[in-house]
Amino acid sequence: MLLWTGAAAFTAAFIWNAWPRRDAQGQAHCPACEDTIKLVQDLVCESCEVSVLDMKDLAVAKRAKKLGVRSVPAVAINGQLAGCCEGRGPAEAALRAGGVGQSLR
C-alpha cells in the first residue's frame, strides 16, 4: 500500500511540475526566455527598439524559421540571428559583439 501511494504521489508531482505555468493573460512562462528578455533589456540603449515575439504565433514562427532560429530563446539584431543564438542560448559577450546596446546613429 505504501509503495502504491508513493508511486501515485511521484506521478502527481511529475505531472504538476511538467504542466506549463501561465500568467494572468494565459501566457506560458519560460524561465530561460524571461532571463534572456531581462538580459537584452538591461543591455539596450535608450534609442534601441526591442520586440519580444511569441513563437506560438504562426507568423512569428515562420519569420523565426527564415532567420534560422532552431531553439528558443533566440535574439535577432537588425534582422539577423545573433551569433550567440546559432544552436545555443544567448550570451552577453556575443550580444554586445553583435551590436546590442550600441546606438544605430
Q: What are the pLDDT tens digits along the chain (105 aa)?
A: 666 666 666 666 655 555 555 555 555 567 778 888 888 888 888 888 888 888 888 898 898 888 888 788 888 888 888 888 776 656 688 888 888 888 776
Per-residue pLDDT, 27: 57
d(CA 36, CA 42): 10
pTM (global) more than 0.75: no
Between the CA of residue 52 and those of 7, 37, 86, what are the distances in Å? 41, 8, 18
Length of the chain: 105
In DSSP terms, 28 is beta-bridged to 22
Distance of CA 55 to the CA centre of its chain: 9
d(CA 69, CA 46): 27
